Amino acid sequence: ETGVTQSPTHLIKTRGQQVTLRCSSQSGHNTVSWYQQALGQGPQFIFQYYREEENGRGNFPPRFSGLQFPNYSSELNVNALELDDSALYLCASSTESYEQYFGPGTRLTVT
């Protein structure tokens, strides 16, 4: 059984640019959630997708957007990057139950 994978591992962008992060969910999981983890903090919920529809959103501006594809993989897009967007971005997949399985994360640095 393949676990949750994310790409890329690390990324450096310039303020104002746009970025796309990718996540492949664990086999059999139809729900994907994205989290932002700033240095020294716990993960903060960005949004969740269930069967290709957004199923909940945290306190993040609209420049954070996402997609889920028919194979349940997902993308997180961030427009107009700001310095404070520098963080570890975590993807987690699950079924309708509440147990989430996390990927290793993408480390984004905005300069």
- Residue from 11, 20, 22, 45 that binds another protein (CB under 8 A)? 45
Contact 47, 32 (CB under 8 A): no
Q: Give Cβ neighbours of residue 40 (< 8 Å, ≥ 6 apart).
A: none
- DSSP strand pairing (44-50 vs 53-57): antiparallel
Any contact of residue 60 with another protein (CB under 8 A)? no
Beta bridge partners of 7: 22
Contact 20, 77 (CB under 8 A): yes
Span 1-20, contacts to another protein by CB under 8 A: 4, 6
* Residue whose CB is less far from another protein, 33 or 81: 33
* Residue whose CB is less far from another protein, 66 or 103: 103
Cα maximum dimension of the chain: 39
Q: Provide the minimum distance between the beta carbon of 103 and another protein in the complex, in angstroms, as a whole number.
A: 5
Q: Provide the minimum distance between the beta carbon of 107 and another protein in the complex, in angstroms, as a whole number.
A: 9
Residues that bind another protein (CB under 8 A): 4, 6, 33, 40-45, 48, 55-56, 58, 90, 92, 94, 97-105
